[in-house]
Structure 1
Amino acid sequence: MTDALLVFTNLPDEQSATALAQRLIEQRAAACVNRLAPCTSIYRWEGKVETATEVPLLIKTTRAAYPRLEQLIREVHPYELPEIVAVSIDQGLPAYLDWVNQETKE
């Protein structure tokens, strides 16, 4: 197991997704953020089934940087309850994982 994490979040449009991605990189809370193509999300919110177009972000960070990353997402995310899901990266190219670690150090 490594200290690297893959964090998922969705935003309502490309502009807010790009702004968040840039902020995470500038603040060294993430080493890399992939902004994916818009997708359709179907979910239950406040008792109703909703459908929305969202822009997913895949964020590479570390356990040490995660609290800073979560705080930044919560500060700028337009949703009342943003999706923030972190998945441990058990294996990966060691040089890449070292790079993620270096890029997220304050």
Structure 2
Amino acid sequence: MPSSFQLILCTCPDKATAKKLAHLLVSKKLAACVNIIAGISSVYSWEDEIESVTECLLMIKTSQDNYAAIETALFKHHPYELPEIIALPIERGLPEYLDWITSCLSSK
């Protein structure tokens, strides 16, 4: 049976933006946890130029049911014209941890 959990990746230009987006997602119960990894180096093509920047990576733990709302929130509040928003299925995990994700996403 496929998992209903996802890990969503999103890069941000700086730690302040990353923290703002992480707090937004967790406070709205769209994500159980968002890890912020600072200081990643990104090399990519944009408008026919090769860019090289330092960014922060958000690792967003959530359910598949929340993907659309997370995508909308990130796109609305993100400073990039075209933010990276990529979802990966969580194939397996410690059952107690996955239960914790579910409990964090539930309305109380």
Which category of TM-score, normalised to the shorter sequence, fits these structures? over 0.9
Would you say how many aligned residue pairs link Structure 1 and Structure 2? 106
Indicate conservation of the 8 Å contact 1:65/1:105, yes or no: no
Long gaps (5+) in structure 1: none
Name the structure 1 match of 2:61.
Answer: 60
Name the structure 2 match of 1:29.
Answer: 30
Does residue 48 (structure 1) correspond to residue 73 (structure 2)? The answer is no
- How many angstroms does 1:59 deviate by? 0.4
Deviations 1:49-102 (A, max 9, x none): 001110001000001111111111011100000000000011101111111122
Q: Counterpart of 1:54 in structure 2: which amino acid?
A: E
What is the TM-score with the length of structure 2 in the denominator?
A: 0.94
> How much identity, in percent, do the aligned residues show?
41
Name the structure 2 match of 1:84.
Answer: 85
Name the Cα RMSD after superposition: 0.9
Q: Structure 1 105/67 Cα, relative in aligned 2: closer, same or farther at 3 Å?
A: farther
Q: Counterpart of 1:20 in structure 2: which amino acid?
A: L
Does residue 75 (structure 1) correspond to residue 108 (structure 2)? The answer is no
What is the TM-score with the length of structure 1 in the denominator?
A: 0.95
**What SS does the aligned partner of 1:78 have?**
coil
Looking at structure 2, the residues matched to 105 and 64 of structure 1 have their Cα atoms a distance apart, in angstroms, of 12
Indicate conservation of the 8 Å contact 1:5/1:86, yes or no: yes
